[in-house]
Each structure stands twice: as C-alpha cells, then as structure tokens.
Structure 1
C-alpha cells in the first residue's frame, strides 16, 4: 500500500492530475477573457467558435476527472494524450485570436515545463514536439486579432504580455513547486523503504542464525535428556545431588520446549496464516508464556470487558512482539529492584492499543528513539524493540515510547482493520 501511494505522487498520474487542475483554471480564464474582449472591450472576435472550443475543453475536463478516479494506472502515453488535447484546444483558440502574435502563445511552454518535472526524456521530447508543431502552425495560419475601435493596438498587446507574464509566473511557480515537493516526498519514502529493507535483512540474518543454533542444540539436549535420568538413579543416595539433577532435567525440558516453539514459529511465519481468536484468549496465551519465562515478574493486566470480546486475526510475530516488550519491561523493573510490570489494553476509534509499563529508570530525555531497537537495559541484545517495531510496521501500526511517573511506557498501536477478524 505505501509503495502504491508513493508511485502516484510523482510521474504520469501526478502530471495528469496537475493538468486537470490547470484545465479548470484555463476554462474559467478563457471564458472570462472572451467575454471581456467581446462585451467590455467590444472587439469583433468570433465569440461562437471560441466558446465552442472552451466547451469542448470542458467536456474533456469532465472525462479527465472521471479517468483520474479509476483504479488502473495512468501511463505516459495517456498523459501525452491529455497534453495533446490541451495543446490542440489552445492552438484552436489562438488561431481565432492572432495566432503566434497573441502574447498568450507562450502558454504552450507550460506543458513542457510540467512534463520535464514528471515524465521521462522521450515523453518530454514528445510534448515539446507537440507544442512546437502548434507554435509553427500558428505562425502561418491564424485570423488577425482585431484592434480596438479607439486608440492604438500596441498598449493592448503590452497589457496582454503583462497578464500573460503574471499567469505564467503563477502557474509555473505553484504547480512546479507541487511536483517538486511530491518528488521530495517520494525520495523520502524510498529512503525509508531502503532503511526498512536493510533492517529486515538484518533481522532475517539473525533468524537464520537462530534456526541453525536451534538445530545444533537439539542433539546435545537430547543427549543430556537421556543421561540425566541415569545419573539421578546412580546417585539416588545423595539427596542434594539428586535435587540438582532434577532441576537440570527441568531446565533441559524447558530448553527443548523453547526450541519446539522456535520451529513452530518459523513454520507459522513461512505459512503466513493468521490465527483467529478472541483478544482475551490471545492475551492469556501471551501472559502464560511470559510467566513461564519470568516467574518472578508481578504482572498487572487491565483489559476492559468490551475489548476482551474482540475477535482478532493474530498474524505471525505479534505474540512474540508482545512477549519481547513484556520481557524488556521486566528487565527494566528488575534493574531498580522491582518486579512490577503492567499491561494496559484498550480499543477505540478502530485501533487496538497495548501499553506496557515498567518501574525502571525510563528512557533518556534525549536518548535513542525506539527505531534503533535499544531498550537501555544492561546485557541485552537490543533486538526486542527492533523486532516489535518491525511487526508494528508490517501491520501498518506504530510503536511509541515515553516515560511515566514510575518508569517507562511502550505503546503498540495496531489498526483493527488489519488484525480484526470482523
């Protein structure tokens, strides 16, 4: 979705949309100019042919507005067609009003300038050729512009040049500035996409190493799982050692369970299938897993009844993102001798917000942003926030951080339009 929007900010679509607005301005300005010349200045100009040309341009403007609302992309050749229609109508109007001697003939340069900011070189050359052909034709074929009944025609020509200068300055300044701003926005979007791709590539490399480590660890864990019961039977007479061996067996089983979860998570990521469940069931599963990892943590949950009944399509990675944030909060609280962690969940205005609060030192006032993936804890790998932010971006959500009266708060906001089952 972001890529599609970025592709429409600059290029044929942007130029066609700009031409549509210019076309409306041209219709209004040309109508006023014809009526002023014919009624107020009393010039004997062919009013009916001029108004017919303006009406034809208005019909095309309606078609262009309809076309811009359609989902299929605008191609360069189509944009050139729009420019050709505008040039043809302008040339038609100039034919009845002095041809190349009309000071407004320089308006033929506007499509060239706009095309140069949005189209490829061959397309710009095509637009320039159209404008050039129209100009050369108007040098030889035109109806002379009638002079006013009183006074010389030179002041009228100078006045027309002045008005044309103002129009050109406004058009080129305003619309080219819009196109240039759209180009800058696209460049920023490309830079963000490149940075996101580099970060995701790093996360993928870490995931690959983790998969290899899980495969390698499975063999020594199986060996320990086989030898520990035998050692416990051999040293049954030593209660202290037997208790230690029982603890080691439990830790081995815990490691095997973690490895199985890693494999299951990888398979889920590859399948890209979302689980459907109520929000309460999702949160309960995450908290059970977190309590197994951090049994010492004192977790407080705030989950309104209205939000608990929400049906979710839980995408791959969301569960691990939440557990990572809870684990970071537990580490931050532990650094201050506290075990308190708070999870506050609320749903409003089409968003699901998961706020994780700790009782730690908080974030530095001018510290690293969340995007760098550093929680500030000692001995951490700095991956928890990075993985959580990657998940948030993939789901069109956001991850923000801040400080509270007793520690730090990290908020994971996700659109229900993406994760909601209904």
Structure 2
C-alpha cells in the first residue's frame, strides 16, 4: 500500500502552487503601481524579476512530470530562490516598510514542514539576513495622500497582506493537516494488515505442521484397510463398507497433499483472470460434491459476465463462506451473483439462527471463536478476498439468518 502523505512529488507541487499564487499577487501589485502611480521608477525592473521568476516556475512544472525528482538539497535551493526573489522585490519597493515583508514567513513555513532541521535553520538564517539587509538598504516607497485613493497605500497593503495571510493559513495549513491525517490512517491500516499477516502466517505454519503429522497415521490406516480388504473379500457387505473407508482415506490424503502444495507461495503462484460467473459455477459444483445435503437457489444476473482475478486461496475463501451458511442451516440457501460498473458481487443468504452484533464487529478483524467454529474460517476468507481488493460483510436478516456479501473488483485487463 502506498503512503499518500510521503510522496515527494506532492511536496514539490505544493511549493510550485504557492509560488504561482505569489507570482500572480506580485504581478497584480506591479500592474496597479504602473497604472496609477507614475512616480515609481522601478516598475519595469520589478516586472522583469517577476517574469524570470515565473519562467523558472514554469520550467519546474514541466520537470515535475519526470519519474525521478531531485532531493532535499534542490528543494532547499528553490526555497532560497524564493527568499532571493522576495528580497529583490522588497528592495525596490520600500524594504521593511513594505507591508508584505512578512511574506518571508511563507517559505520558512514550507521548509519547516518538508525539510530536515538543518535545512530549516539555513532558511531561517537567510530570511533573517534578508530582513536585516532590507531594513537598512532599500528604495523607499513613494508617499501617497488619502486624496488620491481615499486611503493610504500603507493601509490598503496592510489589509491585503492580512487577507493573504488568512488565505494562506486556511489553505496551506489545512492542506498539510489533511495529508497528516491520511498518513495516520495509512499507518493504522498498515499495522492492521501486518497483524493480520502475522496471524495468517501462524495459522499457515500450524496447518502445514498438522498436515505433516497427519500423513503418518493416514498411511498406517491405509495399510491396515488394505489388509482388511484381503481378509474379508468373501464378505460382500463388510468389503463394501471397508472399501468406502478406503475411498474416504484417499480423499483425506489428497486434501492434505493439495494443502501442502498450495501452501508453497513462490514465483510460480498462479493468478488467473477468468469469467466471474463461470468461476462461481465451478466453485458451486465443487461445493455440491462436498455438501450433498445442502439445498440452494442460485441466481445470476443476465448479461455479459465480467472478468476477475482468482487464485486457489480465493477458491477456499468462497468454500469457507458457503460452508458457514450451510452449517447455520443447510436448507434453502439463496445465492445471487451480480455486478456493477466496478466489481463483482456475490450474496449468500442463509436462514440460520444468525450472529450477534458483538461477534459481527469482531469477525474478520481479528481471530474470533464462535460456537459453530466459523471465526477462523471467516478471518482467513476475509484476508483472501482483501488481497484481491475485495470486501466481505455480514448483515443480519430480519426474518432470521445472515446475509454474506462478497465483492471482488474487476480484473484490470479483460479479454
């Protein structure tokens, strides 16, 4: 899972966006001075500085499309470039008497959020030096009286500066806080997935050991049954019963063999893209063999079926959820397959006793034990479906029973 709050590209995008806002504000101020105040002599020079600054910002926007981005040193250089540009503009427009002088705090705020402490200190020292220089060396602002604009330029600039500060705090700080919340959510989800993976690994390790331990007694039982078949070959009834036991033992041996083979997760683990309805029909056919006592009603949405990505763990996940419904009540199980524009949806409705709300809140999030033993099976099924980007949810039914809703997103490429 990618962390949305730690992407360097986002930090560069925030810097360039704020720089673009500063460029537009500076350009508007220079335009107002050019149109209404003829006594200012440095308007053309300020416009040239802003134009070069805008050109640099545009070039960086283009470079932002590159897959590889420069590191913190380049980011620091751009912050220092902001301070240099502001220093040049303020030198030509009154120095520290300019009401916008506190815009120096904007690049400092950005660096404090993005850069390490040593770089932030460098920015702070640069801003202090620039402020100190401008307090002594600058070209003074022209004096304007209230008769020309009904208010002094200083008062208007102070109002505009305050408004810009409010916009900056509302936009930038809120934006940063939003990404911090996303980061916290990402960390919480990562911890939850890590805990689930550890629990699944523990179950898989125990299952592999159990499969190995069961192999020896099953082989011994098979040898004994083969000897019994030879001893009772004249007794047709007993021979038939023992033959059935041998068949069941062979099935157990095959199940353990499949469990051992499918537990080897390596580069040969296959992920198939298949037709969703055909896949579900195969799963249901296999389930009918395992649970011949179950009566079900299977309905499929009309129309072209979507494609989904499957693997053996998903097969077992569906079987576990179907078995949970059958264990609750094997009669009149309703299964419906449908889909929307993005995902395949399967609902399984049983008419059992239902599940308490307390158990519903814990199922799938951590290992939970219920009276019918469905907790571990549901936990593993939920994890398998989640690996495919899907969800498993349980809903109580008013007339009694439980509705299980499984969603699987469509495969990226459909053929």
What TM-score results when the alignment is normalised by the length of structure 2? Answer: 0.87
- 2:393 aligned with 1:393: no
Q: Which residue, 102, 113, 117 being the options, matches 1:117?
A: 113
Q: Residues 370 and 399 of structure 1 are in contact (CA less than 8 Å); yes or no, is this contact kept in structure 2?
A: no
RMSD: 3.0
Consecutive unaligned residues in structure 2, runs of 5 or more = none
Is contact 1:373–1:385 with CA below 8 Å preserved after alignment? no
Q: Hey, what does 1:261 align to over in structure 2?
A: 258
2:79–2:111 Cα contact (<8 Å) kept? no
Partner of 1:23: 19
- Of 392, 395, 407, 1:402 maps to 395
Query: What does residue 85 of structure 1 align with?
Result: 81
Write the distance in 1 (CA, Å) between the matches of 2:308 and 2:106: 52
* Paired position in structure 2 for 1:368: 361
CA distance in 2, matches of 1:324, 1:373: 17
Partner residue, 2:331: 339
Shift of 1:294: 1.9
1:105-142: per-residue Cα shift (whole Å, max 9, x none)? 21111111222223322232233233234334433442
2:340 is matched with which residue? 348
| Contact 2:349/2:404, CA 8 A, preserved across alignment | yes
Cα-to-partner distance string for 1:297-335 (whole Å, 9 max, x where unaligned): 223322346445x555423421111111111121222xx
1:385 positional shift: 2.2
2:411 matched to 1:417? yes
Q: Report the CA distance shift for 1:79/1:188 in structure 2 as closer, same or farther (over 3 A).
A: same
Q: Give the secondary-structure state (helix, strand or coil) at the position aligned to 1:44.
A: coil
Q: Answer yes or no: is 1:230 the counterpart of 2:233.
A: no
Deviation at residue 230 of structure 1 after TM alignment: 1.5
Q: Deviations over 1:24-44 (max 9, x none)?
A: 221222122222233235552
Structure 2: how far apart are the matches of 1:6 and 1:384? 35
SS in 1 for 2:411: helix
Confirm whether residue 291 of structure 1 aligns to residue 284 of structure 2.
Answer: no
Write the mapping of 1:97-246 to structure 2, written as runs, cut at 5 A: 97-148=93-144, 156-235=153-232, 242=239, 244-246=241-243
The range that moved more, 340-349 or 178-187, is 340-349
Contact 1:225 1:252 in 2 (8 A): yes
Matched, 1:37 2:29: no
Q: Aligned with 2:144: secondary structure?
A: coil
Length, aligned pairs only: 412
Match of 2:49 in 1: 53
Give the Cα separation in 2 of the matches to 1:75 and 1:54: 26
Secondary structure of the 2:364 match is helix
Q: Distance in 2 between matches of 1:311 and 1:177?
A: 41
Deviations 1:32-72 (A, max 9, x none): 22222332355524211111222223223322333334433
Cα distance between partner residues in 1 of 2:299 and 2:91: 75
Q: Report the CA distance between 1:346 and its aligned residue.
A: 2.3
Distance 1:277 1:414, change over 3 A: closer
Q: Paired residue for 1:3? A: 2
Q: Which moved more, 1:159-168 or 1:183-192?
A: 159-168
CA displacement, residues 252-301 of structure 1 (integer Å, 9 cap, x when unaligned): 12211210220231236663321354434432332233223322122332
